[in-house]
Chain A
Amino acid sequence: MSTSTTAPTTTTELRDAVRDAPGPVVATGAGTAADWAAPPAPDATVISVRGLAGVVAHNPGDMTVAVGAGTPLDALQSALAEHGQRVAFDAARVRRGATVGGLFATADSGPLALAYGSLRDLVIGVTVVLADGTVARSGGHVIKNVAGYDLAKLLHGAHGTFGVMSEVVLRLHPRPPAVRTVALPCPDLAGLPAAGRAVTDTPVEPSALEWSDGRLLVRLEGTEGGVEGRATRLAGLLDGAAELPAADADAAWSSHADAVEGPDGRAVIRVGVRPTQLGEVLTSLVGEADAEDVTAAPATGVATLTVPADAEVVAAVHRRLAAAGGTSTLRSRPAGTDLPAWGPAPASAVLLRAVAASLDPDHRIGRGRMDPWLPRTGAPA
């Protein structure tokens, strides 16, 4: 569908490719979210950032790493593991080779977001190429830094609009020596907020708390003695809670990730509401929108679900979330379907349009991805 593909291997080559492309440009990484958000302009030049891969600088003592935006996160995690470190981030599609840049641009996140936030909380510096070939950097290589605007935030969740990232600096955390999972029955989604609070009211400080397949999964990370004691305490405090054997825990989290990614042929939607609304909103979506594959984080109010790939059903989900004061974003979109990616535009969309007009007046970068919040056509000549 796109006119041509280029694959730069340096920031300079990326700059030239972006600047010299004749019209709209769409950046791609591993392609694990190619069908997320709204479709890019059909005549866009595809620029792959896969050539911008690998560690640029890893400073284990400073707990930071700079990588090319096209670096697959799973490969990076393996390299960091040798130093006892990790990026505290575990979105489901990481296992399919998703790149750091792609995970960032799509604002993806996994169960660890409870304790560590999403990549917006972990990225401390970024280098970005704008449509006119300007190369700009913000942040830096230190975790604590308030100098200048944090341009990375603008690119988080922008699905490849505004600019193309070439390099990303991440803060790291130690790999926990021990991990345990405690499972707690929670058959009814309506009871989810209360079940979640029962866990977070204890002092065990889970690093992840997710509902999947009729139960709550509580991940505890820390020292061997620490997680053992916390798992035992949790099992003693909450009715029906029991620690899962390691193999069962792995299977449970893997099944959770499968649900987040959803089966082929259905539309995947990520939603966010106030935690206390989660039970009611999800119950209504199951009843009224045929929602399935539900996973939910009762402490953060974030959930992922699938619905039939029908434009009216997806639009109804957006409306339901907007009515609840929440947010919704279309993720996977089955091939050949035309589904509304975004809900009603918030008042702040005026800022998106103004910033886009300032950074990329012809809307070349990622044109179409944020339609209708951003124009799907370039500026008139």
Chain B
Amino acid sequence: MTTATTGAGSTTGALAADFSALLPDTCVITDEVGLRSYECDGLTGFRQVPAVVVLPRDAEEVAACVRVCARHGVPFVARGAGTGLSGGALPVADGVVISLQKLRRILEIDVENRRAVLEPGVFNLDISGAAAPHGLYYAPDPSSQQVCTIGGNVAENSGGAHCLKYGFTTNHVLEMEVVLADGTLVTLGGPSSEQAGPDLRGLFLGSEGTLGICTKVTVRLLRKPEAVRTVLADFPSIEAAGDTVGAIVEASIVPAAVEMMDSLAMEAAEAAVGAGYTVEAPAALIIELDGPAEECDEQFAEITRLCEEHGATRIHVAGTPEERAKVWKGRKAAFAAVGRISPDYFVQDGVVPRTRLAEVLTRIAEMGSEVGLRVANVFHAGDGNLHPLVLYSEAAGEHETAEDLSSRIAELCVELGGSLSGEHGIGADKACSMTRMFTDDDLAVMQRVRAGFDPDGRCNPGKIFPTPRLCGERPGPFRPHPLEEAGVISRL
């Protein structure tokens, strides 16, 4: 047994003993090998082995574990599937990781009220799976939806390709049960969209695990749209594709999704899954419409007309569910597939006002050229959410140049009036860049709000807000999940 001293002076042994009094042995991990599998999340460059990992089996046990942490004065980090891309579930040295993977029951599919009651460890895609027999689905669809959990979605306020029309996690959560830093259980939100008093539910959503641990969540389910129409259109330039998106917006059409890929991304995706992309095309758009059939058909005709008007060189209508799945599979595989054309890469997540897409892409290309690195682009064009992939070689010693370029791209997004993150979160990864987007006062007020929830700062410390210790660290290279390489899941 290790006798490392935790932050507050308790020994890891004493901490583990308290957990063992609460949970069966299989739910308390203290051995080095076991702990190591929790040392990072999807942002594999940041690693930290925790003191203890616990796997409570229900909300009461989560609360009891948090009370143990409170008693010992040690920090804790909640963890779902560990697919996050910003190091939001990065453990804290000498701290506890509270895994929610045993809380994975779908508690209720309430068809009449169109909602699902879930434990946090339920996979995002399984919600729609359980709702499907009733003609319902859960709208937010992060690209990793097969392997990410609703608890993680709550923490990150996850979006997805279809959030352009349907919004983010925050727009679909009605009610949550939350364990606070002192181990008390409270309910945030309510049974309808109407709440009495301030929207603490909305404040908690997207707070990246720094305000507490969600142990139960009620989400809205939507009726599956009657019609879905998907088109893949090639364009002679990024600008022409961008102008087409602008024209769609001007035509008062809100598509369900508008995705753009550049030639480098398509080359990689095509090599990986053969989705039928034209690899010679400088840019392509995937545009999807859904809704009542009349509306969908009318707007789809308009969209294909706008694509032609803006010089589309090929318009491929995915006419069957199989063809649609193929188009999307390529899109989802594009990211991990970049590994086929580059030994290493960093993925970035930033947002610019949609009208500045062409400008930011030109600047990114210039910045890449200046340092001799290629940047592939796959992004949600409808809402200006970029996912530049900085390609580099670890072996060639390009790590620092690539990492610097990637960070500068996110900061460029802020300069252009956008945001450091559209969906991956700030986590440990971008905490040091937060001062580019917010003033010291802005960040101090956020910290004061946090102090109301967690006065001792033990709830996922070191995330979101810049700290000197954190900002000195240097991340390692990114490694994709095997399912990403297969085009089954994606992170953008």
Q: Which residues of A contact B (CB under 8 A)?
A: 59, 61-64, 84, 107, 109, 113, 117-118, 120-121, 128, 130, 134-138, 140-158, 161-162, 173-177, 193, 197, 200-201, 203-205, 222-223, 225-226, 228-230, 270-277, 299-302, 325-329, 342-343, 346-352, 354-359, 370, 373
Which 3 pairs across A and B sit closest by C-beta, in order of nearness? A272-B194, A153-B202, A272-B192
With a 10 A CB-CB cut-off, give which of B298, B426, B449 has the most chain A CB atoms.
B449
B434 in contact with A327 (CB, 8 Å): no
Contact partner, B197, options A109, A148, A370, Cβ 8 Å: A370
A158 in contact with B197 (CB, 8 Å): yes
The answer to the question of B279 belonging to the interface, with a C-beta cut-off of 8 Å to chain A, is no
B418 to chain A, nearest CB (A): 5
The closest CB in chain A to the CB of B220 belongs to A300
The closest CB in chain A to the CB of B193 belongs to A300
**A135 and B441 in contact (CB under 8 A), knowing A275-B113, A343-B196?**
yes
B223 in contact with A348 (CB, 8 Å): no
A142 in contact with B351 (CB, 8 Å): yes
The closest CB in chain A to the CB of B438 belongs to A148
CA distance A153 to B453 in the complex (A): 15
A121 in contact with B171 (CB, 8 Å): yes
CA distance A98 to B292 in the complex (A): 34
List B contacts of A136 (CB < 8 A). 439, 441-442, 444-446
List A contacts of B384 (CB < 8 A). 62, 142, 144
CA distance A142 to B413 in the complex (A): 11
CA distance A154 to B199 in the complex (A): 5
**A62 and B203 in contact (CB under 8 A), knowing A148-B437, A359-B445?**
no
A151 in contact with B446 (CB, 8 Å): yes
The closest CB in chain A to the CB of B417 belongs to A141
B187 in contact with A203 (CB, 8 Å): no
CA distance A136 to B380 in the complex (A): 29
A352 to chain B, nearest CB (A): 6
List B contacts of A141 (CB < 8 A). 353, 417-418
A89 to chain B, nearest CB (A): 13
A342 in contact with B438 (CB, 8 Å): no
The answer to the question of B249 belonging to the interface, with a C-beta cut-off of 8 Å to chain A, is yes
B197 in contact with A373 (CB, 8 Å): yes
What are some 30 contacts across the A-B interface (CB < 8 A)? A109-B194, A136-B441, A136-B446, A138-B445, A142-B352, A142-B418, A144-B419, A146-B156, A147-B430, A153-B200, A154-B203, A157-B198, A161-B198, A174-B253, A200-B114, A204-B292, A205-B225, A222-B291, A228-B294, A229-B292, A270-B194, A272-B192, A299-B114, A327-B190, A329-B196, A329-B197, A346-B186, A351-B453, A354-B451, A358-B449
B446 in contact with A302 (CB, 8 Å): no
The answer to the question of B385 belonging to the interface, with a C-beta cut-off of 8 Å to chain A, is yes
B445 in contact with A200 (CB, 8 Å): no
List B contacts of A302 (CB < 8 A). 192-194
List A contacts of B443 (CB < 8 A). 148
CA distance A197 to B112 in the complex (A): 8
**A145 and B198 in contact (CB under 8 A), knowing A197-B112, A301-B191, A347-B184?**
no
The answer to the question of B452 belonging to the interface, with a C-beta cut-off of 8 Å to chain A, is yes
**A146 and B198 in contact (CB under 8 A), knowing A137-B442, A193-B112?**
no
A325 in contact with B199 (CB, 8 Å): no
In the complex, per-residue mask of B195-214: 1 if CB is within 8 Å of any chain A CB, else 0: 11111111101110000000
CA distance A349 to B206 in the complex (A): 20
Interface residues in B158-195 (C-beta closer than 8 Å to A) = 159, 163, 167-168, 170-171, 180, 184-188, 190-195
Interface residues in B197-252 (C-beta closer than 8 Å to A) = 197-203, 205-207, 223, 225-226, 246, 249-250, 252
Extra inter-chain contacts (6) besides given A144-B383, A200-B223, CB under 8 Å: A120-B199, A146-B422, A147-B430, A275-B112, A275-B114, A373-B197
Contact partner, A140, options B187, B203, B437, Cβ 8 Å: B437
List B contacts of A144 (CB < 8 A). 159, 163, 168, 351, 380, 383-385, 419, 422-423
B252 in contact with A84 (CB, 8 Å): yes
The closest CB in chain B to the CB of A374 belongs to B197
**A354 and B199 in contact (CB under 8 A), knowing A142-B351, A146-B422, A147-B419?**
no
The answer to the question of B448 belonging to the interface, with a C-beta cut-off of 8 Å to chain A, is yes
The closest CB in chain B to the CB of A318 belongs to B196
A156 in contact with B202 (CB, 8 Å): yes
A213 to chain B, nearest CB (A): 21
Contact partner, A143, options B195, B200, B206, B383, Cβ 8 Å: B383
List A contacts of B449 (CB < 8 A). 149, 151, 154, 355, 358-359
List A contacts of B250 (CB < 8 A). 61
